[in-house]
A and B are shown apart, each in its own frame.
Chain A
Amino acid sequence: MSRRAGAPVLLACLLALAGGMLFGLRYGIVDLPAGRIVGILAHALGLAGEPGGESWHAAVLLDVRLPRVLLGALVGGGLALCGAAMQGLFRNPLASPGVLGVSTGAAVGAVLALYLGLAAQSIWALPLLGTLGAAVTAFVVYGVATRRGQTPLGTLLLAGIAFGSLNGAITAFILSISLADYRIAGQIMYWTLGGLDRATWDYVKLAAPAILLGSAAIVYHARDLDALLLGETQAASVGVDVPRVRRRVILATALVTGVAVSVAGAIGFVGLVIPHILRFFVGPAHRWLFPASLLGGAAFLVLADLFARWAIAPEELRLGVVTAAVGAPFFIFLLLRRRKEGWW
């Protein structure tokens, strides 16, 4: 197997994403033929006249399925990209988007929104509080780990773990005091398991700019992160302003992860393992790994969501359960097969 199959892997990820999105739009309680999907979309974009047939088909497609697949692609791509960036920045294969505690920070905000009943009052409350929780955690972790302008990676990692645990404790505390009200506790548990079933255009409008902007900032630093993999002094020697690049990438990751977790809940596995799998095929160079992670992560989450909707229809599996249940065995399989060659 080639370690340097950049272009074919990108193409494969793109096809998987396109196929996953098409299936996601097509199948559900009612199956919509491809021609009908095209007709409805064309009409929505003002390219064609009123499509015939049942009018509620358009509502299902445009208001339920389309925001859901778009949000799935955004969240999956964003989380996988952040995982790739964190693994590169920390030169550590165990780094994930949540390594700085931002996912757990988002969880605190989201759980608080549910507990206080704000989420029931406004659709924006949960994602906004979640993003706020992620941002506060990112800045506190960075601040704690920084002394006189220096931010050692080891300290940053430990501070991230410490605040991640603290956030976990806060989340567990809120859950424990809400147990009296079964309805609220249920909502919190449900959110914690991760899913795209809340997806609406509001969520897409909130997530898309943040995730795309953060992703662009990460991709912009691809060459710098390549050089950083050789060591900080090596990177500085080839012109990388190490502290500045690190600050920007961490900030971008916090933004993307915070928003992704806020709108889709805690979805494990994608950010940690998708970049590993893709690195195996395209090598460590970020100019390939980043686009591959974006497309591959997006495709994976859209397909996983499709499975979650299909498996026990009309009920849904929780997406976080599916990603881990599908992904972990595949990862272990690759790990066993490639153990001899070493992963990196």
Chain B
Amino acid sequence: MVSEPILEARGLSFAYDAAEVLREVSLALRPGEFVGLIGPNGSGKSTLLRALLGLLPAKRGEARLKGRKLADLSRLEIARTAALLPQETAAGFAFSALEVVAMGRNPHLGRFRPEGAHDREAIQWALKATGTEAFAARPVTELSGGERQRVLIARALAQEAEALLLDEPTASLDVAHQLELLKLARKLAADGRAVLAALHDLGLAARFCTRLAILSEGRIAADGPPEAVLTEANLAAHFRIKARVRREAETGALSVLPLEPE
């Protein structure tokens, strides 16, 4: 029997003014899952992640967090269960990396309570998991783009949320750190959390995610195990590429070789 979803969209539609960006999206995220959200540019991936955190008002349908409607929850209640790593970041102020990661504890601390032993543990764990301890004391303004990205990932981890939403978390990372992050996400899922990540590298998504969902023109066009989703027909229909999909002997996972734009 499948477990109850932590986070779920039911027939969710959202529009910026007249332009409908999400159309009747239904997607469930359960504990133990690492779902890769894939789709071409402008298909609505970032919008969906933001809507799943309750940041955008649904035009139709609804999103639920552990069975409760997002619209009925306060931001603080949402933040204790779900964390989002957005693409947008302003890093103009010289907070130390440690201070940024510590902000992940805010939803658990309220306004003035100082960090306790458990908060410090969570922060240390997040720093370690992202390999950012070495520059914890340095101002984020002095870090490279990839280092800063890892600090922000640590911020989301320190939140200890059951559902983790990551918007292109690998975008500015080098290959080694991409692999480490995806392994970490898979391990978090294996430990009982739920991870939903918008990803661009289809091969890495196929290898690390337990499930893939294609978002195309605001609709979920396919949703299932990588083998069922990452087909040459789907790549042609939704990514407009002619591609070869095959199983790699070394990883046991699918790989995608893009040949031509259609």
A187 at the interface (CB under 8 A from B): no
Query: Which of B75, B112, B139, B156 touches A241 (beta carbons < 8 Å)?
Result: B75
* Chain A residue contacts of B94, Cβ below 8 A: 3, 283-284, 342, 344
Given contacts A239-B75, A283-B94, A344-B92, contact A231 B106 (CB under 8 A): no
Nearest opposing residue in chain A for B87, CB measure: A233
Contact A220 B107 (CB under 8 A): no
Q: Which 5 A-B pairs have the closest CB atoms?
A: A239-B79, A239-B107, A233-B86, A239-B76, A284-B93
**Mostly helix, strand, loop or mixed at chain B's interface?**
mixed
Nearest opposing residue in chain B for A284, CB measure: B93
Name the interface size band of chain A.
20 to 34
- Of B20-28, B60-68, B96-104, B227-235, the one contacting chain A is B96-104
Digit string of B153-185 for contact with A (CB within 8 Å is 1, else 0)?
A: 001100100000000000000000000000000
- Looking at the assembled complex, report how far the CB atom of A320 sits from the nearest CB atom of chain B, in whole angstroms: 29
Binding site for B on A (CB under 8 A): 3, 91, 220, 222-223, 226-227, 229-234, 236-241, 283-285, 342, 344
B188 at the interface (CB under 8 A from A): no
B6 at the interface (CB under 8 A from A): no
* Chain A residue contacts of B139, Cβ below 8 A: 3
Contact A344 B141 (CB under 8 A): yes
A285 to B106, CA, bound (A): 13
Digit string of B55-94 for contact with A (CB within 8 Å is 1, else 0)?
A: 1000000000000000000111011100111101111111
Contact B90 A91 (CB under 8 A): yes
Nearest opposing residue in chain A for B113, CB measure: A223
Contact A227 B106 (CB under 8 A): yes
Contact A231 B75 (CB under 8 A): no
Contact A231 B86 (CB under 8 A): yes
Contact B90 A230 (CB under 8 A): yes
Contact A236 B106 (CB under 8 A): no
Contact B103 A233 (CB under 8 A): no
- Looking at the assembled complex, report how far the CB atom of A146 sits from the nearest CB atom of chain B, in whole angstroms: 16
Taking A234-B88, A236-B53, A239-B75 as known contacts, 13 extra A-B pairs with beta carbons closer than 8 A to each other, sorted by chain A number, are A3-B139, A220-B111, A226-B99, A229-B93, A230-B95, A231-B86, A233-B50, A233-B55, A237-B53, A237-B159, A240-B106, A241-B75, A283-B99
Contact B78 A239 (CB under 8 A): yes
B152 at the interface (CB under 8 A from A): yes
A223 to B139, CA, bound (A): 18
Nearest opposing residue in chain A for B46, CB measure: A233
Query: Which of B74, B85, B86, B141 touches A342 (beta carbons < 8 Å)?
Result: B141
Contact A234 B155 (CB under 8 A): yes
A3 to B139, CA, bound (A): 10
A240 to B78, CA, bound (A): 10
Ordered by A's residue number, 7 sampled pairs between the chains whose C-beta atoms are within 8 Å are A226-B99, A229-B92, A230-B103, A233-B88, A237-B159, A241-B74, A284-B93
A238 to B100, CA, bound (A): 11
Contact A238 B95 (CB under 8 A): no
Nearest opposing residue in chain A for B90, CB measure: A231
Query: Which of B84, B104, B111, B152 touches A223 (beta carbons < 8 Å)?
Result: B111
Given contacts A227-B103, A230-B100, A236-B53, contact A283 B90 (CB under 8 A): no
* Chain B residue contacts of A226, Cβ below 8 A: 95, 99, 103
A220 to B89, CA, bound (A): 24
